[in-house]
Amino acid sequence: MRRDHGAQAGAEDVQIIRCPEQMRLDFHTLDVFTTVRFGGSPLAVVHGADGLDDRQMQAIAREFNLSETVFVTSPKNPAHSAGVRIFTPMAELKFAGHPTVGTAVLLADLKAGTIDAEQDSIVTLEQQIGLVRVGVRLKPGEPGFAEFDAPKPPQDAGALPPVEKLAAGLGLIANEIGFENHRARCFAAGQAFAMVPVSTREAIAKARVSPPHWEAAFDEQGIVGVYLYTRQCIHNKSAFHARMFAPALGVPEDPATGSAAICLAGAMHHFDDFPDGTHKRVVEQGYEMGRPSQIVVSNVVRGGELETVRIGGHAVRVSEGRLSI
């Protein structure tokens, strides 16, 4: 911007104020844990984010206003695929499932280009929680599929407040909480979720965040989100129907939550007492939001212990563009 001093210009140097050069970053959006666009959980992936600071990343995540936005950076170890940082509209997460699946599928797809045969690859992502290896399968004309081992196994993190308190926070009645031997408990796999079994799909459909009871039931416990699940499903191939609320993170409801599904695996092992072997279950989520999602959860049990939890799902590209920062 030039400042004109009129008649005094000869006596005083003209000052030039230079605006900083704009940064332009490519981005993609995907729908994750679905094979069709406009289903599943939407995700934004911003490439070449090395020059962004925390404040800028958080502002961009608020702008996208999706459950999560991923920022791809150069890996610290050149043998790895990428560095990854994950933000909700309000906070950074050390790890999240659907960003891991979506980012891995996207990076593998971009690297592969046009393919004429099935192709498998490993994408290694440096996340805040540590290194996450993701197996990706690409098929011509089909959405990619990614699967990863949970970076931390789910741990029983203790009991939750009395069922009457939980029900009030969810707009339900006490006898709608729990089924069979499943009771509400907290499980953590890097992040802690309240795992709340609900008796019927009718009850889970009417659940909602009910302030101020919500704060007393959940926020005071240091919980990231509340995951409701029931055995009554829409599809015969599904084992559980689920919903997830995380208002403290700026996510009123999430269409698909891979990190919470890891904790569900902990609840499955705790209450269903799986024998040794691999037990694969499909979890359906997002139907109440009009964004149907399917998450594949595999429990690997050895010696009576839950050794590994594997999370898998598809991802489909929706849009691409460029950000000006």
**Residue 155 phi, psi dihedral angles, 5° rounding:** -120, 140
* Alpha-carbon gap, residue 322 to 306, rounded angstroms: 43
Estimate to the nearest angstrom the gap between the alpha carbon of 46 and the chain centroid.
15
Asked if the peptide bond before residue 78 counts as cis, ω within 30 degrees of 0, the response is no
> What is the enclosing helix (H) or strand (E) of 46?
strand 41-46
Q: Residues in the chain, how many?
A: 325
- What token pair was written down for 66? 């999706």
**Domains of the chain and any CATH numbers:** 24-148+316-324 (3.10.310.10), 155-313 (3.10.310.10)
* Alpha-carbon gap, residue 303 to 301, rounded angstroms: 7
Cβ(152)–Cβ(204) below 8 Å: no
pLDDT attached to residue 220? 74
CA distances from 75 to 27, 106, 123 (A): 18, 16, 12
* Alpha-carbon gap, residue 186 to 161, rounded angstroms: 10
Cβ(179)–Cβ(83) below 8 Å: no
Give the residues across from 122 on adjacent strands.
135
Which residue numbers are catalytic? 68
Tens digit of pLDDT at every position of the chain (325 positions): 434 444 444 444 444 444 456 899 999 999 999 999 999 999 999 999 999 999 999 999 999 999 999 999 999 999 999 999 999 999 999 999 999 999 999 999 999 999 999 999 999 999 999 999 999 999 999 999 999 999 999 999 989 999 999 999 999 999 999 999 999 999 999 889 999 999 999 999 999 999 989 998 998 777 889 999 999 999 999 999 999 999 988 999 999 999 999 999 999 999 999 999 999 999 999 999 999 999 999 999 999 999 999 999 999 999 999 999 8
* Alpha-carbon gap, residue 86 to 67, rounded angstroms: 10
Which of helix, strand or coil describes residue 234?
coil
CA nearest neighbour of 242 among 300, 194, 313: 194
Estimate to the nearest angstrom the gap between the alpha carbon of 102 and the chain centroid.
9
> What is the enclosing helix (H) or strand (E) of 104?
helix 97-112
For strands 240-246 and 277-285, give the pairing: parallel
CA 62, 65, 67, 73 dihedral sign is negative
pLDDT attached to residue 21? 65
pLDDT attached to residue 47? 98
- What token pair was written down for 178? 């729990």
Alpha helices in 117-179 (DSSP H): 163-169
